[in-house]
Chain A
Amino acid sequence: MATLTTDTGRAAGAPPGQGPRGRARSGGLGRFNVLGGLAGWVWLVIVVVPLYWIVITSLKERSSYYAQNPLAPPSDPTLANYRLVIESEFVRYLTNSVIVTVGSVVPAVLVSFMAAYAIIRGSAGSRFLRWTNVLFLMGLAIPLQATIIPVYLIIIRLQMYDTLLAIILPSIAFAVPLSVLVLATFIRDVPKELFESMRMDGASEWGTLWHLAFPLTRPALVTVSIYNGLSIWNGFLLPLILTQSPAQRTLPLALWTFQGEYGVNVPAVLASVVLATLPILVLYALGRRQLLSGLTLGFGK
């Protein structure tokens, strides 16, 4: 801890003679911070080692997995594990995951957007909208997985068990409360005068929704879509409980069953982990900033 205080002196003293007053740049944050720096770099190693291990092991022969040092790069890199995974119906699971994710996120964000707009614009004059808002806020506090048994019952009664729609409908419902909350905060930030001038021009609320609020809240819509998309893409509980046949399997569930079947073939199992994560990694590379804001839902701007 003592190092921290001495560092203040050192960093501030860099331009000699100016004294501590000179270097106040980024709120005293830009300066050297030993403890934080140490934690930062140690944690980097802790994050990178398992990731490195996943990749190198997935490129190893099964025999060399047992023979080689686990952290040594593969002596004889092979893509055979990836071939095995792809031949095990990987494309089908991928397609299912894409259908479920897109099929849930698009409707979820659209209905949440409409609801958020109505709540912000109409709550003052409508008790119905105020209650709707309260209901969504309560939905935030409840661990929705606790409702899985009745959801299962409803899906059976609707004859939707073991279909992708069975995953999609509850996914939309579970995404609504948080999406409405976040979108409402952003719609609230749109200047009132803009709504007024739209009204003066004779635009309907429906028109204002799409031509004013929609373009102005586009960053928030992207953020919310990414956040929901990621949690639905990685979702495990709903597919586990609401589907059964391999034909309806999504990727996380496929990983789990694959591990059950090929458990001893660790390189192949890890190749499946890499392949299942690859689409997200590609998206991450393409739009890092959007993804980041989506992940933290704007918490970390």
Chain B
Amino acid sequence: MTGLAPPAVRVRPATGSAGGRSGSIAWMALPALAIFVAFGVIPLVGVLLLSFTRWNGIGAIHPAGLDSWRTVLTDPGLPHALWVTFLVMALSWAFQTPMSLLMGVFLAGHQRYREILAIVYVVPLLLSSAALAITYKALLDPNFGLGAGLGIPLLAQDWLGRSTLALCVVVFVVSWQFIPFHALIYQGGVRQIPVTLYEAAQIDGAGRIRQFFSITLPQLKYTIITSSTLMVVGSLTFFDLIFVLTEGGPGDATRVLALDMYKRGFQANLMGPASAIAVILVLVGLALALLLRRLGGRDASASQQEGM
């Protein structure tokens, strides 16, 4: 397991003995590795293999060549699902980032009542997506929900019955749950900005807005990247919320990739095409991770020390 060829020249004197001992601790990684390989790596390879088969989820698995891929790639459902996934991702990012940034900067102050705000903000994070979806389904009921309660006709719409509105509801519910989380991340980031920077700016006569844009925002660069990464990659996993809230509807208006995979696989029993969708989902996830890393201009471990 340890490489056969010794790492020739660069061995420092100490590493000789450490290398010998590290062979004896490598086994400690084995339990974690074994279970991750069994239920993470093998399924990842498996999903690619299954995309070249025909399987109804119960019976035998038959090789089917490129059939599933042909089905999936010619189905207008795929660009639609990709588009909806992208929309949910982009809109929830665009709504959450300014809000949580603003609130994070605010929460970073030290007054007592901000502590109280922080206590309440966290509660939505404790709810499961299923509970959240069930709640909002009832809360948005045009006749007996919030709209009727406040007597504001604007709020008493058929929220989940119209395509655009349903998509907005998904974005809103996601934001309702996660804005506080990102606000807390920003709060942590803001508190790490050296006070001296602000003192210097004040001496130079910079106002609040100037300070925000020339100090706070640039200093938060890595926090923004961290938070955005979590938002964007996390938005690929909104399956359960959307599944319970709209089941992809009305029509296919909120049918994101993950939901598309589930419906093809576990409702229509077409595991081949569903696996092809899953492969696409993996590729989208990897592409996003690489893109964000490129944007960050640093590797994950470095940005972790800096921004997280």
Contact present for B195 and A24 (CB under 8 Å): yes
Q: Is the interface of B mostly helix, strand, loop or mixed?
A: helix
User: Which of B26, B125, B205 interacts with A129 by CB under 8 Å?
Assistant: B26
Q: Write out, one digit per residue, whether chain B residues 258-296 have a CB within 8 A of any chain A CB (1) or not (0).
A: 100110011000010011001101100110011000000
Judge whether B111 is part of the interface by a CB distance below 8 angstroms: yes
A253 interface contact, C-beta 8 A: yes
Does B73 make an interface contact (CB < 8 A)? no
Which residues from 4 to 24 on chain A have a C-beta closer than 8 Å to any C-beta of chain B? 4-5, 7-8, 12, 20-21, 24
Whether A118 contacts B126 by the Cβ 8 Å rule is no
Chain A hits for B18, CB < 8 A: 122, 124-125
Chain B residues contacting A39 (CB-CB under 8 Å) are 99, 102-103, 106
Cα–Cα distance between A56 and B105 once the two chains are bound (Å): 33
Which of A132, A145, A148 sits near B33, CB closer than 8 Å? A132
CB contact between B146 and one of A21, A71, A237, A253 (< 8 Å): that residue: A71
Q: Would you give the shortest CB distance from B12 to chain A, in whole angstroms?
A: 9
Contact of A121 with B22 in the complex, beta carbons under 8 Å: yes
Whether A172 lies near B184 (C-beta < 8 A) is: no
Q: Is the CB of B258 within 8 A of A255?
A: no
Q: How large is the interface on A (under 10, 10 to 19, 20 to 34, 35 or more residues)?
A: 35 or more
A73 to B31, CA, bound (A): 53
Asked whether A273 and B240 contact (CB < 8 A) given A24-B195, A142-B44, A205-B24, the answer is: no
Instruction: Indicate if the CB atoms of B185 and A299 lie closer than 8 Å.
Output: yes
Contacts of B148 in A (CB 8 A): 69-70
B89 vs chain A, min Cβ distance (A)? 12
* Residues of chain B contacted by A31 (CB below 8 angstroms): 109
Interface residues on chain B, size class = 35 or more
Within 8 Å of chain A (Cβ to Cβ): is B97?
Answer: no
A90 at the interface (CB under 8 A from B): no
Contacts A/B (CB < 8 Å), 25 sampled: A26-B195, A33-B109, A33-B208, A36-B103, A53-B139, A119-B29, A124-B15, A127-B1, A128-B2, A141-B290, A143-B233, A146-B279, A147-B282, A148-B261, A149-B265, A173-B36, A173-B40, A176-B32, A234-B127, A252-B131, A256-B130, A259-B137, A269-B138, A296-B185, A299-B308
Which 10 pairs from chain A and chain B are nearest by CB? A36-B106, A150-B46, A125-B19, A122-B22, A234-B128, A70-B149, A173-B39, A150-B43, A147-B43, A141-B289
Chain A residues packing against B (C-beta within 8 Å): 1, 4-5, 7-8, 12, 20-21, 24-31, 33, 35-37, 39-41, 43-44, 46-51, 53-54, 57, 65-66, 69-72, 111-112, 114-115, 117-119, 121-129, 132, 135-137, 139-154, 169-170, 172-174, 176-177, 180, 185, 205, 209, 230, 233-237, 240-241, 251-253, 255-256, 259, 266, 269-270, 273, 276-277, 280-281, 284, 288, 291-292, 295-296, 298-301
